[in-house]
Chain A
């Protein structure tokens, strides 16, 4: 299934900036960066729970926020892209 993850991490402190890069890195492990703090990840249920848990551990719930949008298996009709930075489709043939 496709999960869209967005986040806001407060960067007022050095600690916050560190968290921001950790969150970004974690998201990148699971999916692709489609915009600055927006990631698309193709994961199964187990992977999703793990990812969610790992992200929850990283952020500070007092200042940061995380949002997960579950787009299911038939996500292809639900996503439209306009403008620069087009993404790749993880489930179509990957030939480089």
Chain B
């Protein structure tokens, strides 16, 4: 398995990134804020309007270092890509599957299966770890409902039915998500998912975590040569990385939701770091955002045993290993796509 390299996040405004030899140099006016060798980096992510020299863009493209630009709030703006990687045969097969609704459904249901399975185990694990603090019967009921949804998913060969099952499973899971928040409950609560803009602290954190995850998933898919814009469950829409969204389904819960929960429950973030705009949108201040990114990077370094590959890898390589497995399935080396089943 490849080694997970570091990601450089640039959150300071008015910076300019340039290339010097084999180094990326971060400048603010005359001062050099940092200088790092490119071979140690997996990706560069800038927040706000950081300028980047064309020479550095070229170098990043050449070395397959992801270069992404986001707004201060973490909304995706642009990404620099070089030549398409991987082979066309793989991509064409991906398009063929995507064009065929039934074949799409066969892959898509495994993403959803992974999603529901992981949601169930997040709940089960919580009942085990915090037996005295949670409404156990309520959570058990949801968990049983999720098991039922999983049985349904097994036989579905139609995308619309699949979406229906997924939707109702998500409603079930969301209905008890608030229970999993154990600390700072006055400021962090979950009444339902809202986005663009998020209207409370928890939704602001979730949205931000999903953005970070989608960037990781997207570059993972591209690094194995798949087209992140052609999905199976999510249909084609200009500018939407549908396949990345598909693959995120199974990772959202275990990767992003649990990350957000641990930030809150371990009190790594503070409600004072959030502010509300006139339109109701809740935003994080710069320090909180940095704290979240730091936690995210640390989480990526943690090691787990991959349930299917049975190999010890870091959390940060999970999107990459799933992308590899998906490519193997599309190539015909695997009979089914094995979703990431966390336990």
Contacts and interface: CB of A to CB of B under 8 A. Distances in A.
18 contacts: A28-B22, A28-B23, A28-B35, A29-B22, A29-B37, A30-B37, A31-B37, A32-B37, A91-B6, A93-B6, A93-B296, A93-B297, A94-B7, A94-B34, A95-B9, A95-B10, A96-B10, A96-B12
B37 A25 contact: no
Contacts of B290: 95
Interface stretch (A6-14, A40-48, A57-65, A78-86): A40-48
B317 interface: no
Given A95-B9, A96-B26, A41 B34 contact: no
A23 to B, nearest CB: 13
Contacts of A69: none
Contacts of A90: 6, 36-37, 40
A95 B37 contact: no
Contact of B15 (A29, A32, A43, A96): A96
Contacts of A44: 3
A29 B23 contact: yes
Interface of A: 25, 28-32, 41-44, 47, 88, 90-96
Nearest to A94: B8
A92 B36 CA distance: 13
A95 B35 contact: no
A14 to B, nearest CB: 22
B39 interface: yes
A26 to B, nearest CB: 8
A72 to B, nearest CB: 14
Interface string B17-44: 0000111001000000111110110000
- Chain B: interface size category: 20 to 34
Given A32-B35, A88-B34, A91-B6, A96 B40 contact: no
Given A42-B40, A90-B36, 8 more contacts: A28-B35, A32-B35, A32-B37, A93-B293, A94-B8, A94-B36, A95-B293, A96-B26
B285 interface: no
B39 A43 contact: yes
A94 B45 CA distance: 10
Pick the 9 closest A-B CB pairs, nearest first: A93-B297, A29-B22, A93-B294, A94-B8, A95-B9, A29-B21, A96-B10, A90-B40, A96-B34
A30 B15 contact: no
Contacts of A47: 39
Q: Which residue among A28, A42, A88, A95 has the maximum number of chain B CB atoms within 10 Å of its CB?
A: A95
B37 A94 contact: no
B22 A30 contact: yes
B110 interface: no
Contacts of A93: 6, 9, 293-294, 296-298
Contacts of A42: 37, 40
Interface string B279-291: 0000000000010
B321 interface: no
B164 to A, nearest CB: 40
B294 A95 contact: yes
Nearest to A29: B22
Nearest to A90: B40
A39 B21 CA distance: 16
A43 B39 CA distance: 8
A35 to B, nearest CB: 16
A90 B297 CA distance: 12
Contacts of B296: 93
A28 B37 CA distance: 8
Nearest to B28: A96
B11 interface: yes
A90 B21 CA distance: 18
Nearest to B50: A96
Given A91-B6, A96-B26, A28 B21 contact: yes
